[in-house]
């Protein structure tokens, strides 16, 4: 493996800034990723533009997708971040906006596939809106995953290089509280105080969490009222829900939609709902065992596993029933933060493991998902 070439490709991607909300920047980044991919893979991708957001897809072979490799090229970093956080490599550490989450993973995927003797049946999908929750690419991801033997997600690893074998599902809600305005000094009794109603609802929502089930229900951004001398007529608060199981996601959703106002004259509107299904441990167990066996065969350290609260596009692939292994990308840390970084020495081994995993999956009988649990002898 040519590590220098791989690092050059990572730098080229990182130095093309691609904040998710900037459609022009994302399109420009897609052109860079497409150019790198064509150079390494010998084939140009399809540019798929949905709601103005640019996604890339390489399909190899003429048959159905058997192994789906998933990444994203958008980041949370605004244009201009490179001026403060330039792309550098010093003392074995690569830095730069989006290097860990997850442009290194995209470059690794390209180089891993490029090194395969036969990539017939592989699809590489690189989306441009993951950091927003994949609003335009969700259906694309799910459609590509259906029927595949496996989905391999190049999001960055968890601490210590751990593969992500479990991700919580996510639900997002907006609760709007409607009251009635009145003068706070002259006749407050004529009003219906939206702030008080909001306080009742926040406490009820907060109580929906279940530590035993690993369910968190967190009221977040909120606001009510207009002036200090007016009984608030309206307000709202957002709710972030993280769950390990579909049953818990449904339980919380039912409870959220059953909320009723406490104060006479007040009313509620609850918007939103489930955003991503869980990636359960059972969805990844067989692939994780396979990856560990291949690591031993390659003489690489066996990667640990981790359950994480954050979501990714792997939630969508698992949600349609496709075995999914996540966190196969860079080892490092500081995602979305000033100290975002990648450990260079880990890149070659992780790329070789990905290549071996794809090759081993392609060598098994088509759609024999039960055979994904162990590497072939």
- What is the set of active-site residues? 74, 130
Q: How far apart are CA 333 and CA 156, in angstroms?
A: 8
């Amino acid at each position: 493996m040519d590590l220098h070439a791989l690092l050059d490709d990572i730098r080229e991607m990182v130095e093309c800034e691609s904040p998710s909300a900037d459609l022009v920047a994302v399109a420009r980044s897609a052109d860079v990723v497409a150019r790198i991919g064509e150079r390494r893979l010998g084939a140009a991708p399809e540019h798929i533009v949905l709601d103005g957001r640019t996604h890339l897809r390489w399909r190899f072979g003429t048959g159905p997708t058997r192994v789906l490799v998933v990444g994203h090229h958008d980041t949370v970093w605004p244009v201009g971040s490179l001026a403060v956080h330039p792309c550098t490599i010093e003392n074995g550490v690569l830095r730069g906006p989006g290097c860990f989450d997850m442009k290194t993973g995209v470059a690794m995927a390209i180089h891993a596939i490029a090194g395969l003797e036969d990539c017939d049946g592989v699809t590489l999908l690189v989306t441009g809106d993951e950091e927003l929750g994949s609003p335009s690419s969700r259906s694309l991801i799910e459609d590509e995953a259906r029927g595949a033997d496996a989905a391999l997600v190049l999001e960055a690893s968890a601490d210590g290089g751990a593969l992500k074998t479990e991700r919580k599902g996510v639900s997002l809600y907006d609760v709007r509280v409607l009251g009635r305005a009145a003068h706070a000094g002259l006749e407050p009794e004529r009003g219906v105080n939206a702030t008080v109603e909001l306080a009742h609802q926040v406490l009820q929502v907060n109580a929906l969490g279940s530590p035993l089930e690993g369910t968190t229900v967190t009221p977040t951004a909120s606001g009510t009222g207009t002036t200090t001398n007016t009984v608030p007529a309206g307000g709202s608060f957002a709710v972030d829900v993280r769950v390990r199981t579909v049953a818990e996601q449904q339980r919380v959703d039912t409870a959220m939609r059953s909320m009723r106002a406490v104060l006479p004259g007040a009313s509620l509107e609850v918007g939103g709902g489930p955003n991503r299904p869980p990636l359960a441990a059972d969805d990844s167990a067989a692939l994780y065992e396979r990856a560990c066996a291949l690591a031993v065969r390659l003489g690489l350290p066996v990667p640990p596993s981790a359950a994480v609260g954050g979501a990714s596009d792997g939630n969508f692939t698992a949600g349609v029933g496709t075995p999914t292994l996540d966190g196969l990308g860079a080892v490092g840390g500081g995602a979305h933060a000033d100290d975002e970084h990648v450990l260079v020495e880990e890149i070659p081994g992780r790329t070789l493991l990905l290549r071996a995993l794809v090759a081993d999956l392609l060598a098994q009988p088509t759609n024999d998902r039960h055979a994904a649990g162990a590497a072939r002898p």
